Structure 1
Amino acid sequence: MLQPKTEAINRLRTHLQCSSFLASLLANRDIDSTSLADRFLIPSFRHLSDPSAMKDMDTAVRRIHDAILRHERILIFGDYDVDGVTAAVLITEFLNTVGAEVSYYIPHRETEGYGLKPVHISDPAISNNVNLIITVDCGSSSHEAVHMARCAGIDVIITDHHTISNPMPEALAVVNPKRSDCPSGAGNLAGVGVAFFLVINLRKYLRDRGFWASRNEPNLKNACDLVALGTVADMVPLTGDNRIFVKGGIDIINSEPRPGIQSLMEISGIQHPFLNSEDIAFKLAPRLNAAGRMAHAKTAARLLLTRDSQKALKLAETLNALNSKRRSVEQRVLDEIHLRLQNEPEHLHMGAIVMADAAWPSGILGIVASRLVHQFFRPVVLISTQNGTGRGSARSIPGFDLYQGLKSCADSLIGFGGHAAAAGLEISTERIPEFRIRFTRMAGSLINQDQMVPEMTIDGILDIQDITPALIDEIESLKPYGTGNPEPVFLATDIHIVSSGIVGRNTRRMLLKSGNGSSGAGISAVQFNVDSPLPMASEMREMVYRLRWNFWNGNRTPQILVEDAIFSLQSPMTESIMRTDDGFIPVKNAMTYQGP
């Protein structure tokens, strides 16, 4: 559990005129000053970082301005995930607004792979007389392709957010906040966030030159729906600029969703206007990603670009069907890996899991790797092999930098790229055994056993008898949740189970009361991914849970989401505690919960 920060809590409580409960939750997230709290609770575009501080931004904006005035052909080159698709759509829409000669291209995951390649300079660039290529969410490692473009007289502007090494591609401009010489401090942006910063700067550049005197200047807040989708889907920290983007984007979607998002919400069962970041992460993003994983990502781009409601509905239905297929294939691959792990248990005695198979579609390997990391809590690399070449996805655990790990094995790879937590790679099939040995040994030497135990940080002790509507509203003020801003987790003790039952395939619904004999109707609780009835007990000794509003048919009711519980006389989860005046209990001894 997190240690209380008494001075910060008191300072925030006085400034915000809030409960110690909310002040403690803010302090737990290192929001310990009044200015940080104000910006966190009321995200505003006034507080955005300066987009012009990015290295090469001015060069990029000037070149795009010239291309617009000269009616040069501009190609937006994207990526096949939600981040890359939304970034491509965002810039394409803006350039269409200003009358530019613009088109977009998204490569096929299976046949073309990630990033700008020499073949793309031949087609679609040279074949379509393109004068300027703008990459989004890619390009930082496209040295050969950029060189070929220069030789063909085509300028290249790279916008990206992936880790970049020197020497950089010899592009006209490399707009990437992860450049070692970039002073912007915006390294947490997703690819669509970098693209949005480019558009913000371009709009201002055009304004300063009188471009909007005879045109309607677009309100870029309306593009935040795209930025929110890509930012949440790419799992970058929802702090700072990203929090502003996602909060603004969710507000746009809940007020005036574009036809594509509206159709996708309907087909996903999302109640309007109650969409949140969790809906984006677990309902919208998987369906948008399914296009690139199972077919072609241009279907997702068309959905986001269309203004035709009927066309949007048909495209949303296509994505929904592709997502169902994706889930089926994903489960098949996961079952195969589980069987292999049973037959080859030595994989679980290594510092990482590295596996390859010719029958695995590369498009779903990132999801499967994430599920395996969650199950076995160690880095996972899964590789799909075809025609002597393997394309892989890798996912990691906190404390192990995946990008640096792959970099240490770079001479065994054709190429790689990504972040500390997620990466992609390409490798010759014959070198996979060598890579497996090197990578697993290196991971084993850097990861200790404590890192291989999943942990859940608990914000504090909260008895369910102390739950009130006002308290839930305070929790909701911390939204949007995501990487870097997790949903608060609480611990309760002595809970009475009034009723319980399994609904659907694996959901347990319960009615809970405080075990101290409190009156009242009780509070609804739900626990996912369970398939067995409760043990012979009507009490929970301790419960780890989240707390939120449940919206249904226009009504809202309190709901507990149970993460874990102790039903028998096991060792308690709690350390020494101290109750405050509003029922919230900060914890004196810092600890994390590792399960009963």
Structure 2
Amino acid sequence: MMKHWRTLQPDNQLVQSLSAKLPCHPVTASVLINRGITSTRAAGAYLRSSLNQLKTPFGIKDIDTAVQRIGQAIDSREKIRIFGDYDVDGVTATLVLYEFLTSCGAEVAYTIPHRLNEGYGLQPLHIHRFTASDRPDLLITADCGTGSIEAVREANRSGIEVIVTDHHSLSGPLPDAVAVVNPKRPDCNAGFEQLAGVGVALSLVICLRKHLRDGGFWRSRPQPNLRELCDLVALGTLADGVPLTGDNRVLVRTGLEVIRNGKNRAGLSTLIDRCKCKPDDIGTEEIAYRLIPRLNAAGRMDSASLAAALLTTSDLEEAARMADVLEALNERRRQVEGEILRECRAHLLADPANLQKSALVLSRKNWHGGVLGIVAARLAERHHRPVVLISVQQGLGTGSGRSIDGIDITGCLAACAQHLEGYGGHAMAAGVRVMENNLGKFREAFEKQVLSLTTDVESAPEVIIDCELALSDISDALIDEIESLEPYGAGNPNPLFRANDLQVRQSQIVGGAHRRMLLCHSGGTRQRSIGAIQFNVDPDKSLPDAFDRVAFRLQWNRWNGRKVAQLVIEEAVSLQEASQR
């Protein structure tokens, strides 16, 4: 699909003023202004963010009730069980609660369900298991539970009190729990809707620590430094793809500092080493594309308890063993993901009429449910429309959906609820359950609902450029400044620059499908050359030796203690393509 390129145009006087006052490169000033940061004070807060800038979470609905009940459980030595989700956000949310409660001397354990064998969320079957063996007095959910009406009802019947901590959108009434700590509930106006599940867990811990302090609890034991939990918070927040603005940006930036100081958990240090990284080189990209896929592979392909065990072990030998298992699971994940992606593409090629529809809903028997969300995300990005992939087994379909900016996929599923057995998620990602005999009705209703919303969405995706940047204007100082603006992510994108009229001086395929190049501007051999990488090209096709324009990110390429400037090509238009438009 042809994309529309749009270059932002910040006010030049404002750029020059901010550049002079900070001081910084005009390109850096342009990037800041494009993100709404127009004063030196705002820029200072952005560049030097700290935990002191966090909003106080005491106004989140039900958090005071939750704190009182957990404090009572700690004092009375009641059994506490944490029940988490199986993705990285859920695992880290579970561990934030578990590690803090352990430091309080609480009698606490955790459970993370098996994605394929048990499915998402707290269910009555889990309550039955808890009742039969090691029954807790208090059950606390992490990154799940808002939709667990029946499970909470069963817990109440069994004499187990439940506190829900979650951040998923609501699709019905709240469960009858002691407390439902979810900033997205309609009667909560505290302004924490953007938090990931791990952010909600940390908010609860912040309030609980103060509650215990007010009661004199810390007079007899050291008060935990919550900054030390921010490595977990950074992992979960980045994994969940929530906007990296406000509190989320502060939490991730602090977490990166914790990781970079080199005094990491044994498991995290081992995993970083397996990824051929050094702690002081870890940024959002390394976490998003190296650490998180390996941690998520546990829940996608086997049990997420492996990821939790890796992040909590202090035994380096045990950490090495678990990291090896994660590496093997991640490799298997890649293979299965590639197989399903190729099958989807073949289906669309054989029946191109699907691409005339507002949304893609594809289903197959016995697809591996652990990777459907990843494949759906790739297809949604490629075809610029919501995608739902469903695996059918024994008459029941379970699947994952991903959306595009401007279309709330969970809202669309809500409009199709009469055809579904269940659903839940966020604006951009959701899970769904549907009976096989209702697939046709669901597909039709979902496409119709998405179509009703597409008038508010650009027909072609945009490539939004921060500014044009000639290769000759790239300097070490500029790359350092661009890196200082991290963390990047949803809502705070990595700056994208545009360079025109480029020639490929050298080219080779690496890693099977990635093109490494040496680029320079056309116009002679004296032009500056700079290394570039373009991911996921088709090596079997003829690759261009000249570009009309490229959109790229600018970074240091670090390897074996060295670093060199590198362009990461996100979009490119060859001279031939430009001449045909």
Query: Scaled by the length of structure 1, what TM-score is found?
Result: 0.92
Instruction: Name the SS of the counterpart of 1:437 in structure 2.
Output: helix
Residue matched to 1:184: 190
2:362 to 355, 362, 369: 355
1:500 counterpart SS class: strand
Residues 570-581 of structure 1: pairs in structure 2 closer than 5 A: 571=578
Gaps of 5+ in 2: 1-6
On the 8 A contact 2:423/2:433 being kept in 1, the answer is yes
- Structure 1 residues 396 and 538, CA, compared in 2 at 3 Å: closer, same or farther? closer
Distance of aligned partners of 1:450 and 1:84 in 2 relative to their CA distance in 1, 3 Å threshold: closer
Moved more, 485-494 or 459-468: 485-494
Secondary structure of 2:427 counterpart: coil
Q: Secondary structure at the match of 1:372?
A: helix
1:137–1:159 CA contact under 8 A, matched in 2: yes
Alignment of 1:552-567 (within 5 A): 552-567=559-574
1:14-64 C-alpha deviation (Å, 9 max, x unpaired) = 542333322210111122344432222111100001121211111111111
Pick closer, same or farther for the CA change 1:545–1:63 going to 2, 3 Å.
Answer: same
Q: How many residues align?
A: 574
d(CA) in 2 for partners of 1:535, 1:394: 33
Which one of the candidate residues 49, 55, 66 is aligned to 1:49?
Answer: 55
Residue of 529, 549, 552 corresponding to 1:545: 552
Whole-angstrom distance in 2 between the partners of 1:569 and 1:339? 27
Q: Secondary structure at the match of 2:458?
A: helix
Offset at 1:379?
0.8
Q: Does 1:106 align with 2:92?
A: no
Per-residue CA deviation, residues 399-452 of structure 1 (Å, 9 max, x unaligned), is 111011000001111111101100001112211111011111222232259634
Q: Secondary structure at the match of 1:88?
A: helix
Q: Judging changes above 3 Å, is the alpha-carbon distance between structure 1 residues 162 and 525 closer, same or farther for their aligned structure 2 residues?
A: same
The answer as to 2:332 corresponding to 1:289 is no
Q: Are the structure 2 counterparts of residues 567 and 417 from structure 1 closer, same or farther at C-alpha, using a change threshold of 3 Å?
A: closer
> Structure 1's 532 and 387: CA in aligned 2 closer, same or farther, altered over 3 A?
closer
Instruction: Tell me the alpha carbon deviations over residues 460-495 of structure 1, each in whole angstroms, 9 at most, x when there is no partner.
Output: 111111111111112112111111111111111233
Pair 1:466 & 2:453 matched: no
Within 5 Å, which residues of 2 pair with 1:251-262? 251-255=257-261, 256-262=263-269
Which residue identity does 1:439 align to in structure 2? F
SS of the residue corresponding to residue 425 of structure 1 reads strand
Decide which moves more: 530-539 or 385-394. 530-539
Matches of 2:543 and 2:113, distance apart in 1: 55
Q: How does 1:492-571 map to 2 (within 5 A)?
A: 492-517=499-524, 519=526, 522-532=529-539, 539-568=546-575, 571=578
Q: Distance in 2 between matches of 1:357 and 1:509?
A: 36
Do structure 1's residue 32 and structure 2's residue 38 form an aligned pair? Answer: yes
Alignment counterpart, residue 231 of structure 2, candidates 215, 220, 225? 225
What are the Cα deviations for residues 278-306 of structure 1, in whole angstroms up to 9, with x where unaligned? 11111111111111111111111111111
| Corresponding position of 1:439 | 446
> How far has the Cα of 1:311 moved from its partner?
0.5
Answer whether contact 1:160 1:194 (CA < 8 A) is retained: yes
Aligned partner of residue 260 in structure 1, secondary structure? helix
Asked if 1:168 corresponds to 2:209, the answer is no
1:279 aligned to which of 275, 286, 291: 286
Is 1:417 matched with 2:413?
A: no
Are the aligned partners of 2:548 and 2:578 in contact in 1 as well (CA < 8 Å)? no
* Alpha-carbon distance between aligned partners in 2 of 1:8 and 1:151, rounded to the nearest angstrom: 63
Deviation at 1:516, TM superposition (A): 4.8
Is 1:298 matched with 2:296?
A: no
Distance 1:26 1:534 in 2: 39
Could you tell me whether the CA contact under 8 Å between 2:171 and 2:414 is conserved in 1? no
Quote the Cα distance in structure 2 between the aligned partners of 1:533 and 1:118.
Answer: 52
Name the counterpart of 1:155. 161
My pick for the range that moved more, 223-232 or 207-216, is 207-216
Question: For residue 154 of structure 2, what is the amino acid of its counterpart?
Answer: M
Match of 2:412 among 381, 405, 410: 405
Superposition pairs of residues 18-29 of structure 1, within 5 angstroms = 18-29=24-35
Counterpart position of 1:137: 143
Q: C-alpha separation between the residues in 1 aligned to 2:417 and 2:538?
A: 44
Determine whether 1:491 maps to 2:498.
yes
Q: CA RMSD in A?
A: 2.2
Gaps of 5+ in 1: 573-594
Distance change in 2, residues 1:300/1:570 (3 Å):
closer
The answer to whether residue 245 in structure 2 is matched with residue 245 in structure 1 is: no
| Shift, 1:4, TM fit | 1.3
Post-superposition Cα deviations, 1:533-568, rounded to whole Å, max 9, x if no partner, equal: 997976543222211111122222211122333442
Q: Is the 8 A contact 1:11 1:34 kept in 2?
A: no
Q: Structure 1's 530 and 97: CA in aligned 2 closer, same or farther, altered over 3 A?
A: same
Residues 378 and 452 in structure 1, CA contact (< 8 A), matched pair in contact too: no
Question: Which residue type is aligned with residue 112 of structure 2?
Answer: I
* 1:451 counterpart SS class: coil
Structure 2 counterpart of 1:36, one-letter code? A
Deviation string for 1:103-133 (max 9, x for gaps)?
Answer: 1011111121111111111212563221101
SS at match of 1:288: helix
Distance 1:349-1:496 versus aligned 2 partners, 3 A rule: closer
Q: CA deviation at 1:569?
A: 6.0
Residues 113 and 570 from structure 1, CA distance in 2 versus in 1: closer, same or farther, beyond 3 angstroms?
Answer: closer
Give CA deviations for 1:336-383 in whole Å, capped at 9, x if unaligned: 222222333332221111122222021111111111112211111111
Pick which of 171-180 and 270-279 moved more: 270-279
State the Cα deviation string for residues 548-596 of structure 1 (Å, max 9, x = none).
Answer: 1111222222111223334426649xxxxxxxxxxxxxxxxxxxxxx97
Secondary structure in 2 matching 1:38: helix
Q: What do the CA deviations read for 1:484-511 (whole angstroms, capped 9, x no partner)?
A: 1111111112334433333342222222
1:82 to 84, 88, 93: 88
1-side partners of 2:306 and 2:23: how far apart? 49
2:19 matched residue in structure 1? 13
Paired residue for 1:585?
Answer: none
Residue 4 of structure 2 corresponds to: none
From 64, 74, 80, the counterpart of 2:70:
64
Q: Aligned match of 2:324 in 317, 325, 334?
A: 317
1:327 is matched with 334
Offset from partner CA, 1:224-269 (integer Å, 9 cap, x none): 1100110001001111111111111111112222111111112222
Query: Which AA in structure 1 matches 2:345?
Result: H
Is contact 1:393–1:423 with CA below 8 Å preserved after alignment?
A: yes
Whether the 8 Å CA contact 1:465–1:513 is kept in 2: the answer is no
More deviation in 555-564 or 202-211?
Answer: 555-564
Q: Which residue of structure 1 lines up, in the alignment, with residue 3 of structure 2? A: none
* Distance in 1 of aligned mates of 2:543 and 2:210: 66
